[in-house]
């Protein structure tokens, strides 16, 4: 169901985004990988070395002109977009009063505005074609609150609300919208490093990639609204 599909993956320079791009490429998708730094071109070369067809675009997903340009480049090269994976995201974890307004704005711009801009950029195209899949990497804190994560949690609640409403708007057009809501992942998130001892039992980036591939490859009559993923070692309320 993914072979020859056109997939756009944001935040693809490293971590979950790169793993998602690698997985979709291995299943035959043609890729546009998006990142905010020149590292995205290095990632693209590694993907091309694996034999995947790849367009690399350096873009800031919070910038409307950048987003318009990245999709113009994608349409110019491939002619369509079948799968959009909104993976770009940032997080800071501290007491609410320790956040500056700049912290607040930055997290909302990347985590929410970026999802809005990228999703709405492809919606008219997908509606016209009457098919397409939009998957956003959200978080388990889009369904619960945690201490020291007030602003980040608020962004993920916003993502869940936006995705849920968008799913209802697009269902009649055959366009599917869903979220992947992971718990603790062994990656670079929040200025951390992968492979640290205390992360040994956490989810791996390949786990997230497998979840995205599952959602994207579902038969056309089926939508996976959301997938919640946790490592067994993470306590999570069963509510």
What is the C-alpha radius of gyration for the chain, rounded to an integer number of angstroms? 17
Q: Check if 152 is active-site.
A: yes
Provide the terminal-to-terminal Cα distance of the chain, rounded to the nearest Å.
33
CA 235 centroid distance within chain: 24
Strand-by-strand arrangement of the 6-9 sheet? 54-58, 30-35, 6-9, 83-86, 132-137, 175-182, 226-229
- Catalytic-labelled residue, pool 152, 188, 214, 236: 152
Tokens 């919208």, located at residue: 177
Select from 137, 140, 153, 157 the least CA-distant residue to 216.
Answer: 137
* Count of C-beta atoms within a 10 Å radius of residue 131: 15
Do residues 5 and 28 touch, judged by C-beta distance below 8 A? yes
Residue 55 pairs in a beta bridge with 32
Q: Which residues are catalytic?
A: 152
């Amino acid at each position: 169901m993914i072979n020859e599909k056109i997939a756009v993956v944001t935040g693809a320079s490293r971590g979950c985004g790169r793993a998602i791009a690698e997985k979709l490429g291995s299943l035959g998708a043609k890729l546009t990988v998006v990142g905010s730094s020149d590292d995205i071109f290095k990632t693209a070369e590694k993907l091309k070395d694996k034999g995947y067809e790849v367009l690399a675009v350096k873009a800031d997903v919070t910038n409307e002109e950048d987003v318009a340009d990245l999709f113009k480049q994608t349409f110019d090269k491939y002619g369509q977009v079948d799968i959009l994976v909104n993976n770009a995201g940032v997080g800071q974890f501290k007491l609410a009063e320790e956040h500056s307004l700049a912290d607040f704005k930055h997290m909302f711009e990347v985590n929410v505005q970026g999802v809005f801009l990228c999703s709405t950029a492809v919606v008219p195209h997908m509606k016209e074609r009457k098919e397409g899949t939009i998957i956003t990497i959200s978080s388990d804190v889009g369904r619960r609150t945690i201490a020291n994560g007030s602003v980040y949690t608020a962004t993920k609640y916003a993502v869940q609300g936006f995705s849920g409403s968008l799913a209802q708007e697009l269902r009649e057009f055959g366009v599917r919208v869903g979220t992947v809501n992971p718990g603790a992942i062994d990656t670079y998130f929040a200025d951390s490093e992968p492979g640290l001892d205390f992360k040994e039992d956490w989810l791996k980036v390949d786990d997230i990639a497998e979840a995205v591939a599952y959602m994207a490859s579902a038969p056309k009559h089926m939508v996976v609204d959301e997938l919640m993923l946790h490592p067994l070692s993470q306590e999570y309320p069963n509510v």
